[in-house]
Structure 1
């Protein structure tokens, strides 16, 4: 039996015990996991150093290395995410709807775990902990398959978490990590119907496309983040600059960072040069339309391919537009339905933007960097869904449940 099939089978066997646990028992396990991460920070950072050294030897970009990197503060933050999950309501077992039929049948719709969840992701070790915490809190077993770039980090983290689980009521086998770094292990996970109930991909466009196109197991699609900020004519200069700069520079390697800045022509005439200088001081490479190049001679020409690229790096497209309609059309053409922002003091334009932009998160006068389960108060997130069925946006605990109906009768039969 392959590693993938064996670990998925063990995870499935653990769901029976998981389904019997009380919320307090699940919370106790999460607290043990959080404490263990902090206690074992030194060992985790040592394993992480192996991944970083190997990445540098292989020419991995600094942006990707930042996504892999762990330090005491980041580990403490990841552990705090688990503690926040503890404080959140358990969505399992809630009566969502109650129906009394004329024939005497009493019907209840209740929330239940999805079952065994497969998570396929790339370079961020924090996903390992977030996924484990969210899945276990909702009574789901989880099979993790992280990228080879963070294999040592993920292996040590799962070792630490499983040791903590061994001191709790939760079955250790409910948390599995596939350590086979080959493409074959991903391909096998995508076909594990009957063992995996759902697969959730987290990563770049190519990974997500591969999962969506080739999986026979149901998929919750987390999309690529080609996010835009539109600075309207009436935007306050200081606010607009702060929001745009934060959206690109605060952490460019993540999916909710801005890839294209759209600027109203009148705002651009007065303020774009100063804003561009601020970006260039932060080592952001600017690529722009013809009108942008007239105002920023140091920028290079942007192509349609650039507008359709999720850089996750210190690269930014800049396009000057005549009005909000042109901005909306650009977002409609190139957006990935993730996160979009308008900076404006025009209430009518703000309302139009919030209404017409088709995305999981739409902002007025705030950075797209807030599209995050932690920032939304979910504790952590399993991913940011850009699809429209089952879940959309940052997926917290309720997104990891399904429903079933309980029907109580007194001998009714259907005529």
Structure 2
């Protein structure tokens, strides 16, 4: 079946592409190339495909060129329209700005007029009060004078009657005595009045001085509070960021430290200036807020001392291998690296990165000479491949204590420190803690 189909196809091709021979003649020999029908058909098809592709590509390029020309023209027209709109909007904006400036000028003029009228009104009101006060003083003085006149008339009438009845003359010496008594009494009253006025003026001056002193004291207290609040914010915020960057939620850490806090005095307690249950003043509220922030800062300090926010080496070293998967230096395969490697000279001092208790100090398989320190919050640090260990199991250490010397013991290719941080037994990247504390300590 396949042979018959091939014969029919070959017959069709022979009809359109008869077999041809191309002769190549040289001086000594003659050769020919036989072009079969199938070969000619393939060559013809390939040529047609190339021609068709050239025609299609040319048409596409022409259409793109025409379209690009139209697009550029349209873009130019749009740009011109946008430019005209921008000019119109700019002119409108300038007009609105001029209107606004004019309105502002009118408003300022109106304010000036209102200020002048208000000043005149205050002056007239002050003058009216002064006149009312003066009228009241004059009326009071007039009433007192009338009362004194009436009293003097009654006294004079009484004296005249007494003089007529007893046969005394009008120039009886009793009248001068009474007049002297009244004069003395009036003088004493005037002196007392002047003394009262002077005492009142002195009291007013003392009151003004006390008010000024209270005002200055409040300003000083406000300045002190403001400085303390800024200092607390500057101190607490970096610590908060440090704990968050290390993956330690500050709220949970602070609560753990607070629950186990055993320092001298305990946490700071709020200030209370009243025992009658009155509402606290703004200064008391600010003081209690500051005390709370100081207590929080103290707890942050304790937590930071208990967490490994420090570098295990203090001299210049080379950071040779990070935390994570890497190529094993011994076998060449891919393997998890649970710590960070710091390469340095033999015997370089290694320091504890936080307060804690040594739980292991000795040899351990691939770690070589290993020091393990248990810290708070379920954190544990490991210092491996050391050449010499300077602490013992069960010993309590503080941050910065010299615990070992750098070496190349155990499964190691050179002198370096393999430093690990584990949280609840799970290895974490030690550089998270070191980088988090870089701008704090």
TM-score over 0.5 for the pair: no
Higher relative contact order (CA 8 A, sep 6+): 1
TM-score (normalizing by structure 2): 0.20
Structure whose CA Rg is larger: 2
TM-score (normalizing by structure 1): 0.21
| Higher fraction of helix | 2
